[in-house]
Amino acid sequence: MMNLNRKPLVGVVSDTQTIDPHVFHTAGDKYLNALAQASGVVPVILPSLLPDVQVTDYLSRLDGIFLTGSYSMAEPSLYGESRIDLPYRYDTRRDALAKALIDAVIASDLPLFGVCRGFQDINVALGGSLHQAVQDVDGLNDHREDKSLSLPEQYAAAHQVDVVSGGLLERIVDRPSMNVNSLHSQGINRLGSGLSVEANAPDGLIEALSIDALSFGLAVQWHPEWKVMENQEQKLIFEAFGDACRARQSK
């Protein structure tokens, strides 16, 4: 029998990185804390061990999936392009895990929340493409952070986003616009199939999306996890994800 007194378990996609000399499967502390504190769930890091461990081996034990941001970029060949000549980090094991998770979540209608690279992972998995360097695209602004600044300065509000009327995000935050941070060099070019735009930056870049096939499937380009307990607008998003996971748990 399901123990409804337990907190929902949320699988968190992992990055693979070498911390010399070994490879580690990692997830950022700020994401895990935001899930535990604002969503009220128990985050569980999912290792990128395909094909030895398949997502079906653990998906039925989880109540939601969270796709983190990352310093790595989605492999451009996944959307039909070659890597551009910039010193980007790539993580093909994360690519494979994210794609498998997204496909499985859509098939099972499990709550899904993605942030930054997670937002881009969803778009790529559903047939969309990315601008590999937003700052070099005519008509788009530079959305990168100034890495010479302190972390609080990097994660400060950078611009407004306009929230699409009648969408999932508007129902959550209950306002037509909100101020967000901006720490990304890539962004959506072609929107994937079965996705709806939930918010746009002033330059027209898509900043939030939802997945039509899911009861709760939301992703944002900004970083709502940063000091989430001090930011009511962003806390509402994590709370909505937690509520969706609890609803799934009770089924």
160: CB partners within 8 A, 6+ apart: 177, 178, 179, 180, 201, 202
H/E stretch holding 93:
helix 92-108
Pairing of strands 177-180, 159-163: antiparallel
Please count the other Cβ atoms lying within 10 Å of the Cβ belonging to residue 65: 26
Residue 184 among the catalytic residues: no
Whether 223 sits among the annotated catalytic residues: the reply is yes
For the beta carbon of residue 49, count every other beta carbon within 10 angstroms: 15
Active site residue 245: no
From the list 116, 145, 184, 207, the catalytic residue is: 116
In total, the chain counts a number of residues equal to: 251
Structure tokens at 140: 């788009």
What is the full DSSP assignment across 31-92?
A: HHHHIIIII--EEEEEP--TTTS-GGGTGGG-SEEEE---SEE--GGGGT-PPPSS--EE-H
**For residues 145 and 154, is the Cβ–Cβ distance under 8 A?**
yes
Give the burial class of 221: count Cβ atoms within 10 A of its Cβ; 0-12 exposed, 13-18 middle, 19 or more buried. buried
Number of helical H runs and strand E runs in the chain: 6, 15
Helix (H) / strand (E) element for 32: namely helix 29-34
| Annotated catalytic residue within 145, 184, 225, 245 | 225
| Residue 180 to residue 59: CA distance in whole angstroms | 32
From the list 143, 184, 223, 245, the catalytic residue is 223
| Catalytically active residues, by annotation | 116, 223, 225
